[in-house]
């Protein structure tokens, strides 16, 4: 421990003996360092905080989720420092002073991009916007004013992009979709016209919708149903014929004088049917007409002439028989028409085997175009409604929580701390130089070191002895050293005071 203490004293003595060199080095380093600090321009920073709320019940109803709204907000925030926006900032603030051409604008945009920060907080609705101005050619007041102007302009652009940007984006999207809808509409009309022309040539022979094969299958199915109905109708007609054959036309008895004949009664029934608006093809009208013709052939239908009265059951069965016969005739006519159309289509398929494939291609093209057209119309309506929700319902709440601050002190550099740091570095450099010179000098500060170096015992040593005049001179040199050292500290304090005065003036 004693050896370490002795070594420390030796080091301190070596430095102290070269204190003037250490002081000179400290002054030199401090002056150079303070000069470098003086040339560092002050950076003034302005900050602002905005609140953007994108939550909306109506947006949720329209399918605009909170995630989508937040993605839109993130997109606007990320593009806030785009070249176009920064050019607006440059041209609409004091940064536009001194601009002589596009090259100057590009240089200021590059510098501005490095000095702008847009950061979201833990709450994504809170956004901090900050800007730094550190132009060495401007005064501190001008830099502070420009920093505030830049932040304010960024807030204006942010609000404009969120509110007015949705309108522009909606208009552009709707214009694009209108063009696509018009183009798909023309293509759809052309495809439909080709289908109509094809149907007029081939498919129009058979009723219904679908391809040729589908229509032919439908016709075969209908013919099969008609066959079943025809069998039932013919069976019913045969039954009516049997009943009619076993039913007498008149009932035995004496006719009443002055009673109307059967022919007159049948003609009266026909007149009533005509008065109701029934046509000649109506089954009841057909049956009544046949009854009239039969009565006329029978002699006028006078009940007194035949010696009896008309049988109502016979007339009713005859009417039903006529109705069944008309039904059978209609079914046979319909079957013959369908069979003829089916035979014609089958012959066309044999003559032109590519008809079915052509129709399938036409139907496929039409279906694809129709699907695209309906999708575009749906997307257009959805975008229109979303745009109205975003721009007309005020769903985005934008509020400036903290307006752009007016910087009263430079954000960087921390000049007082740098001045103190330069002073400490200067003192350290002086002590280091003195220590290094002490180590390089070929002397022995103590007898023990000399004895160790030469390997021989040292009998004794003579200490330094000063006269009264030398002591007085040494004291005067100590005063000069203390004054020079104090001057170094005073210079540092003076520079710090000047810095604070300049901040107050800014």
**Whole-number pLDDT of residue 179:** 84
Cα separations in angstroms, 69 against 63, 66, 390: 11, 5, 10
For residue 187, what are its two tokens? 């293509």
Half-sphere exposure of 256 (CA within 13 A, CB side): 6
**Residue pair 492/423 in contact by the 8 Å Cβ criterion:** yes
Ramachandran assignment for 277, one of left (phi > 0), alpha (psi -120 to 50 degrees), beta (any other) = left
pLDDT of the chain, 506 residues: tens digit per residue: 666 776 677 677 778 888 899 999 999 999 999 999 888 888 888 888 888 765 443 344 344 444 554 555 566 566 677 888 888 888 888 888 878 888 888 888 888 888 888 877 766 677 888 888 888 777 778 888 888 888 888 888 877 766 555 556 667 777 787 888 888 888 888 888 877 777 666 655 445 555 566 667 788 888 889 888 888 888 888 887 877 777 777 766 544 444 456 677 777 777 777 767 778 887 788 888 888 888 777 655 444 444 457 777 777 888 888 888 888 888 888 888 888 877 876 776 655 555 556 666 777 787 888 888 888 888 777 777 766 655 554 445 667 888 888 887 777 788 889 999 999 999 999 999 988 887 776 566 666 666 666 777 777 776 767 678 877 888 888 899 899 999 999 999 999 998 888 777 65
Q: 3-state DSSP call for residue 52?
A: strand
Question: How many C-beta atoms lie closer than 10 Å to residue 245's C-beta?
Answer: 8
User: What span, in angstroms and rounded, lies between the C-alpha atoms of 427 and 152?
Assistant: 45
**Whole-number pLDDT of residue 163:** 57
For residue 455, what are its two tokens? 């390997």
* 120: nearest Cα among 65, 173, 158: 158
**Whole-number pLDDT of residue 420:** 93
For 99-208, where are the E strands, in sequence order? 116-120, 126-133
* 433: nearest Cα among 9, 29, 86, 129: 29
**Whole-number pLDDT of residue 408:** 77
Q: What contacts 53, CB < 8 A, 6 or more positions away?
A: 125, 396, 397
Model's pTM, two decimal places?
0.45
Alpha helices in 352-400 (DSSP H): 355-392
User: What span, in angstroms and rounded, lies between the C-alpha atoms of 262 and 302?
Assistant: 6
User: What span, in angstroms and rounded, lies between the C-alpha atoms of 100 and 98?
Assistant: 6
User: What span, in angstroms and rounded, lies between the C-alpha atoms of 332 and 326?
Assistant: 10
505: exposed, middle or buried (Cβ count in 10 Å: 0-12, 13-18, 19+): exposed
Q: What contacts 299, CB < 8 A, 6 or more positions away?
A: 305, 306
Strands 126-133 and 116-120: antiparallel
Cis amide linkage into residue 413, ω under 30° from 0: yes
Phi, psi of 64 (to 5 degrees): -90, 100
């Amino acid at each position: 421990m004693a050896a370490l203490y002795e070594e420390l004293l030796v080091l301190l003595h070596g430095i102290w003996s070269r204190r003037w060199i250490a002081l000179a080095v400290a002054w030199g380093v401090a002056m150079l360092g303070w000069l470098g600090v003086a040339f560092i321009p002050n950076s003034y920073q302005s900050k602002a905080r905005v609140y953007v709320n994108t939550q909306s019940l109506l947006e949720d109803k329209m399918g605009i989720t909170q995630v989508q709204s937040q993605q839109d907000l993130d997109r606007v925030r990320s593009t806030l420092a785009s070249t176009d926006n920064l050019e607006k900032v440059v041209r609409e603030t004091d940064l536009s002073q001194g601009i002589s051409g596009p090259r100057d604008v590009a240089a200021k945009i590059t510098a501005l991009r490095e000095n702008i920060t847009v950061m979201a907080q833990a709450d994504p609705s809170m956004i901090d916007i900050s800007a730094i101005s550190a132009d060495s050619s401007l005064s501190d007041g001008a830099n502070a004013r420009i920093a505030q102007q830049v932040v304010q302009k960024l807030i204006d652009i942010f609000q404009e992009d969120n509110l007015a940007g949705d309108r522009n984006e909606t208009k552009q999207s709707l214009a694009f979709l209108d063009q696509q809808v018009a183009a798909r509409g023309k293509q759809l009309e052309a495809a439909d016209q080709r289908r109509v022309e094809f149907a007029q040539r081939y498919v129009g022979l058979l009723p219904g919708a679908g391809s040729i094969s589908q229509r032919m299958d439908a016709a075969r199915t209908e013919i099969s149903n008609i066959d079943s109905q025809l069998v039932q109708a013919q069976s019913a007609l045969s039954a009516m014929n049997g009943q009619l054959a076993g039913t007498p036309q008149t009932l035995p008895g004496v006719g009443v004088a002055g009673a109307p004949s059967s022919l007159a009664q049948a003609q009266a029934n026909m007149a009533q049917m005509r008065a109701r608006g029934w046509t000649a093809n109506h089954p009841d009208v057909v049956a009544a007409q046949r009854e009239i013709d039969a009565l006329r052939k029978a002699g006028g239908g006078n009940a007194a002439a035949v010696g009896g009265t008309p049988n109502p059951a016979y007339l009713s069965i005859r009417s039903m028989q006529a109705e069944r016969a008309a039904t059978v005739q209609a079914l046979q006519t319909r079957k013959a028409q369908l069979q003829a159309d089916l035979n014609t289509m089958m012959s066309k398929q044999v003559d032109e085997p590519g008809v079915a494939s052509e129709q399938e291609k036409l139907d496929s093209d039409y279906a694809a175009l129709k699907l695209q057209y309906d999708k575009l119309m749906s997307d257009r309506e959805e975008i229109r409604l979303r745009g109205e929700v975003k721009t007309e319902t005020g769903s985005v709440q934008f509020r400036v929580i903290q307006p752009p601050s007016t910087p009263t002190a430079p954000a960087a550099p921390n000049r007082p701390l740098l001045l103190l740091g330069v002073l400490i570095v200067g003192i350290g450099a002086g002590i280091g130089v003195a220590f290094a010179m002490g180590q390089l000098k070929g002397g022995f500060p103590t007898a023990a070191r000399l004895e160790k170096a030469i390997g021989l015992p040292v009998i004794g040593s003579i200490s330094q002895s000063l006269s009264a005049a030398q002591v007085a001179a040494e004291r005067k040199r100590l005063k000069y050293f203390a004054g020079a050292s104090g001057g170094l500290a005073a210079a540092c304090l003076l520079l710090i005071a000047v810095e604070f005065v300049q901040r107050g003036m800014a």
